[in-house]
Structure 1
Amino acid sequence: YSFDDPPIEDDAEIDQNGNVDTPYENQNTGYKDVGDPVWQCRHCKAMMWYDERINKDKQTKNPKFALCCGDGKIQLPVLQDAPQPLRQLLFDTNDSQAKNFQQNIRSYDVMFAFTSPILQLDTRYNTGRGPLTFRLHGQGHHLIGSLLLLANKSPKFALLYIYDIDNEVNDKLSQNPKSKPRRFRNVSMGDFAKIFNRSSSFIVRSSSFFDLHSNMLNNNNHYAQKFRMASDKLQSSIVSNLKLKLIYDRQSDGRLYNLPNTAEVAALIVGDEHTREDGYRPDIPHKDHPNIHAAKRKKVIMREYFCYGLQSRNNEAQTILHAMILFQQWIVDDYCMIESQKLNYVRQHQQQLRVDKYINLNACNNAPETLGNEKGKRVILPSSFVGSQRYMEQLYFDGMTICGHIGFPYLFLTLTCNLAWPEIQRKIFKMKLNQLMNDLKHGHLFGPILGFIYTIEWQKRGLPHAHILIFLQPANKYPNPEDIDKIISTEIPNKYTDPKLYEIVSKHMIHGPCGLPNRSTPCMVDGKCIRFFHKKFNKAIIVDQDGFPVYRRTNNGRTDQKHGIELDNRFVIPYSPQLLLKYRTHLNVEWCN
């Protein structure tokens, strides 16, 4: 690794003291705020953070960005404003009807959807203190169902746009709000019932909402218009047989292969005149740029398409970004489609990936496959596929190689996302982590280092956190307990002489209360705290016979109250005062044996 100071580009602004003008204050002490996304991409006009620039090792006043449009390679149509009344329902924060819509937006979405979502949701962690999380297991499906109304069956989803549904809607809206509506009977979303139970006003106000949204869709959605046209034809006596086609890619005239045998054909041509509202299609070309002829890929891939749509721009609508939990569902749905596309590529390019060597090496060890117990063609995921077994094993071997070359790490840090960060309304955890790694590499907080390893994980309640191993140079390995005491503290700060640090420690670095006062905490297993709190008072730091540090925890009378229980230094999680003041979140620092 190279820990030299980052170079400064020629167009960077430098003040009289030789400092580069950057969006945040570069100080060794005090909170490090990444600011707001005030930097506009010169190509697509997306509002970005300075730390999202392409070359993060250079300071410049004209940064380039690839996260939004690939630095000009991608150009998509601008999203238009949502029609009324949807616009008011999404953006009005005062109207009670709009608040009801925002709180139950996913239920309303399914009510007007053309397809039935089949999702295996995990809502176990939505009962805790963390933010509401959309957690999905397995593969998601969207079923369009039959367009033929079966006997003794109610129309659902796309059928509602063809058949007369007045009586059906009234029947649904008159159901007991404490019971699960029949409309979602075939939708495997367990949280729908919880949403309905939480707000009975949803049922009361849905009748007027349905009329407003039906008119809005009929006037603005060309899919709904085609289905309504089919409905009008079916209800008339002119046409007895009608064909409705969904044409995904009109590269040739379908009449050459399937001659129409009915008097009327309603065709839904996806992407005939492409707009962002139609969604992704595989033949969107890259924008002309100087290197386009030498580029291996000249089409927009699915990941690039959705990355473009995730950005905020002043010149286009913010409909998707203001959809709240429906926005989360949209992101998860997009990721599933991207991963499915990658898996399909791996499946179709097994020969190019040379998976035969994996199969031959494992043939003698794979008894079920040899005996024919596992039928079908086996697909090998290479180490280049993120999340595969070979990907994880390769990272593990890389980490062990670093340990074998440099030695064992000496510091173990855990950085956790903080919901109280001033900038948390935006996607800033990775930028915070990059800042921390930059401080560790260049700021010499713990002295010069030889290397580092980190991994980003997701808590069960939905927040990300990073585990970091630091390899110090031999001269800075803190061989004496007194040296460890200089960088790691396990005591509550003085409330009067250091109020800011006291506030941060009491909010983020106090464990519990657990044990006898509170046996219901997640850390309690079989009546004991799995984190071994509370600790013992200790006048000085020592290293036990197993090489683990026993930090200094004096009985100095300083306490913090949580849930009516007084907690002292025995409940403090080890931390670095300097890092805690700068990042103001749960940031655990441990000395490794």
Structure 2
Amino acid sequence: MDVACEHCGALHWLAEKTSGSSKAHPKFGMCCNHGKVVLPELPEPPQPLKRLLVAADTQAIEFRKHITQYNAALAFTSLGVNDDKAINRTGQSGWVFRILGNLYHLSGALTASTGTAPSYSQLYVYDPALALQQRMHRNNDLREDTMGSLQAMLLQSHPYAAKYQHAYEILTNEEEDIQHAEVHLRVMPGQDRRRYNLPTAEEVAVILPGQGEGGKEGRDIILRNRMPHGAPLYRISDLHPAYATLYYVLLFARGEHGWYPRSQVE
């Protein structure tokens, strides 16, 4: 991928150009629809992430080498994918990650089931010291000082950390009155059409009685304290603005929203 879109700078393969454009002046429609869709520029990452991305010391080099693992350890959601394991069996070439079918993001209950260690979003409602201990238990090849500083950063800079904590408090208080209570994180339009904001951590989101079947439109992020017995993990719609920010927490460390169906068209 070495050909940039002249409008947004997204990288493409030359073969992805539109049929009406030339190799000398390729045009692409998959990224920004020829400059019609404009996303706000990402702000600078907060510290210590910014330093770890550019510094030349031992800690920063180790972080960049294992950045994917650090991100997965700190993500709110998990990655669901069927990968082709047979392609790397020969070991005669570079490692290849080939996806069979769809790639998707999954969300579970905010409370770990009995006998199961907490993970992903569950760790954001735990005591930070216990959450760090659990993250290091699963990733004992990583540096604890790096993991701890990034965890503290996200608790402060990523707005969904506070929203998940608030949802947990709401659900805990409502469990006795509403069976299978759910909190729906529903993005509401603001005055600026480019910005779609959730309720603040101090406000109450949408509380609904639920049976584990998902939202009416399937686009809300649904949080529950416990999953109904036998229910699978909840698949997050890739049309939700927070689809990317809940998994790629080190890319969207301030909780920036991505594309959604009503993104502004210029």
TMscore range, shorter length? 0.5 to 0.7
Which residue is 1:145 aligned to? Answer: 108
- Is 1:106 matched with 2:68? yes
Partners of 2:66 and 2:111 lie apart in 1 by 30
Which residue number in structure 2 is paired with residue 135 of structure 1? Answer: 98
**Which residue, 27, 30, 43 being the options, matches 1:80?**
43
User: 1:119-518 alignment to 2 at 5 Å?
Assistant: 119-126=81-88, 128-164=91-127, 166-167=129-130, 169-170=132-133, 173=136, 181=138, 202-203=141-142, 205=143, 207-230=144-167, 233=169, 240-241=173-174, 245-250=183-188, 265-266=204-205, 271=241, 277-287=256-266
> Cα–Cα, structure 1 residues 162 and 132, in superposed 2: closer, same or farther, change >3 Å?
same
What's the Cα RMSD here? 4.1
Distance 1:247 1:171 in 2: 26
Q: Compared with structure 1, are the counterparts of its residues 240 and 75 closer, same or farther at alpha carbon in structure 2 (3 Å cutoff)? A: closer
Q: Which runs of 5+ in 2 are unaligned?
A: 176-180, 190-201, 207-219, 222-239, 246-251
- In the TM superposition, residue 95 of structure 1 has moved relative to its aligned partner by 2.5
| Cα separation, 1, equivalents of 2:81 and 2:26 | 39
How far apart in 2 are the matches of 1:66 and 1:172?
41
Contact (CA 8 Å) 2:167, 2:183: kept in 1 or not?
Answer: no
Paired residue secondary structure (1:119): strand
Mark the CA change 1:136 to 1:224 in structure 2 (over 3 Å): closer, same or farther: same
Q: Describe the SS at the equivalent of 1:155.
A: coil
Distance 2:156 2:77 in 1: 20
Aligned counterpart in structure 1 of residue 34 of structure 2, from 68, 71, 76: 71
User: In proportion to residue count, which structure has more helix?
Assistant: 1
Q: Is the 8 A contact 1:88 1:98 kept in 2?
A: yes
For the pair 1:56 / 2:22, whether they are aligned, the reply is: yes
1:122 aligned partner, one-letter code:
D
Contact 1:64/1:71, CA 8 A, preserved across alignment: no
Q: Aligned AA for 2:28?
A: A
Change (3 A) 1:129 1:83: farther
Do the aligned partners of residues 283 and 47 (structure 1) sit closer, same or farther apart at CA in structure 2, a change above 3 Å counting? closer
How big is the shift at 1:214? Answer: 1.6
Task: Name the CA distance, whole Å, in 2 between partners of 1:75 and 1:172.
Answer: 36
**TM (normalized to structure 2)?**
0.57
Question: Separation in 2 of the partners of 1:144 and 1:138?
Answer: 19
Shift of 1:109: 1.7
Does structure 1 retain, via aligned residues, the 8 Å contact 2:123–2:131? no
Q: Distance in 1 between matches of 2:11 and 2:99?
A: 30
Q: Distance in 2 between matches of 1:208 and 1:172?
A: 12
Q: Matches of 2:260 and 2:95 in 1, distance apart? A: 31
Alpha-carbon contact 2:110-2:122 (below 8 Å) kept: yes
Q: 1:148 to 1:55 in 2, by over 3 A?
A: closer
Judge conservation of contact 2:5–2:28 (CA < 8 Å) in 1.
no
Distance in 2 between residues matched to 1:83 and 1:286, nearest whole Å: 29
Q: Which residue of 2 aligns with 1:539?
A: none
Q: How many residues align?
A: 201
- Cα separation, 2, equivalents of 1:123 and 1:105: 22
Letter in 2 for 1:210: M
**Structure 2: distance between partners of 1:90 and 1:155:** 28
Structure exhibiting the larger radius of gyration computed from Cα positions: 1
Distance 1:244 1:70, change over 3 A: same
- 2: CA distance, partners of 1:134 / 1:50: 22
Question: Where does structure 1 lack aligned partners over 5 or more consecutive residues?
Answer: 1-35, 176-180, 182-195, 252-262, 288-593
Greater relative contact order, per chain length (Cα 8 Å cut-off, separation 6+): 2
TM-score (normalizing by structure 1): 0.29
Partner of 2:52: 89
Deviation at 1:111, TM superposition (A): 0.9
Identity of aligned residues (%): 29
| Pair 1:118–1:70, CA change in 2 (3 A) | closer
Does structure 1 conserve the Cα–Cα contact (< 8 Å) formed by 2:53 and 2:64? yes
Q: Secondary structure at the match of 2:126?
A: coil
In structure 2, distance between residues paired with 1:90 and 1:170:
24
